[in-house]
Amino acid sequence: MNDAVLILGAGGFIGHHLARTIADGGREVIAATRLPVAFEHPGVRNVTAPWDDPSQFAHWLPHCAAVVHAASSSTPGSSAAQPQLDGNLRTTLALIEALQSVPRRLLFLSSGGTLYGDRTEPAREDDPLRPRSYHAAGKIAAEYFIHAWADQYDGDAVILRPSNVYGPGQTSKRGFGIVATAFEHALSNTPLTILGDGRTVRDYLYVDDLADAVRKVLDTRLLPGAPACNLSSGSALELNALLDRIDRITGRPLQRVFQPARPIDIRSIALDNSRAKALFDWEPAVDLEDGLERTWEWHQQQA
């Protein structure tokens, strides 16, 4: 076994950034995707499979020291009326079963922005979990399965709960990724539909800060278990205030079209990130203004 890292979901926005960051740090990366993906970094090897059977993981686990599970095929919006097993929980269960025979360190990317429900104070990891969407419920179920594996097999896992991640490389999905969606509408000069009154409160975490947290977690040894850690910028704000900043950066004020909020939509959620700071000496380094400017520059280059 070497210090290679298997990244599940490496073809996605976050997974792709993680692959590059970890490879830049000198570790080999085994980028696990369902379909072939081109990675320019020489330290990244792409492997493909459905990833729904333990045998598919068992083949690669002996070649790595850790697994980063960043795969998800749903969003809160896409799962609104469809609880999903395939592509989400089934993949997690297959991985856990494989880890019973070939134990490796596991980092699971959960969802800090959807698990806690509405909060008037920043949520801490030990606060009650109140999922409103099936997407969030699936993340919580995965967390509990990981806890069960860690308890039964002395597994070493860390559950990361990031806030709303944004940055270069992200493209819009329906009902997900408001920063990317806003920039794409600014480029096309088309109206932006907002669900609700625009006063929902969220925290926005730049993707490089998330990648830095993952790198630090991989480099920190912990006792067996599965602690959860929030990852956030620590500066939550209303959606209207975020869009005001985007308008200033682009110089192309968005036409905002307001529609009724959905039952799954959380009104206000911010995350306390003090545990991640204490355990992993991690601090978010990119403030919102800088992150938005970098992201806008990338979107302009793609146009």
Residue whose token pair is 């920063």: 179
The two three-digit tokens of residue 178, written as one number: 């408001």
CATH class, domain 5-169+205-235+271-285, is: alpha beta
Residue whose token pair is 């950066």: 249
The two three-digit tokens of residue 44, written as one number: 């990244």
- pTM of the shown model: 0.94
d(CA 54, CA 97): 6
Q: How far apart are the first and last CA of the chain?
A: 43
* 191 contacts 122 by C-beta, under 8 angstroms: no
Alpha helices for the chain (secondary structure H): 13-24, 54-58, 90-101, 112-115, 134-153, 178-188, 207-218, 239-250, 274-280, 288-302
* pLDDT for 213: 98
* pLDDT for 1: 54
Per DSSP, the residues of 227-288 read -EEEE--S--EEHHHHHHHHHHHHS-PPPEEEEPPPTT--SB--B--HHHHHHH-------H
* pLDDT for 76: 53
d(CA 143, CA 129): 11
* Three-class secondary structure of residue 125 per DSSP: coil
pLDDT in tens, 58-109: 999 999 999 999 998 755 554 444 555 555 799 999 999 999 999 999 999 9
The two three-digit tokens of residue 269, written as one number: 């959620």
Alpha helices for 154-238 (secondary structure H): 178-188, 207-218
The two three-digit tokens of residue 149, written as one number: 């594996």
Low-confidence ranges of the chain (pLDDT < 50): 78-81
199-212: b or e for each residue (b if 16 or more CB lie within 10 Å)? ebbbbbbbbbbbbb
* Three-class secondary structure of residue 45 per DSSP: strand
Every domain of the chain and the residues it spans = 5-169+205-235+271-285
pLDDT in tens, 221-238: 888 999 999 999 999 999
The two three-digit tokens of residue 104, written as one number: 């490796």
* Three-class secondary structure of residue 181 per DSSP: helix
* pLDDT for 79: 45
**DSSP code of residue 12:** S
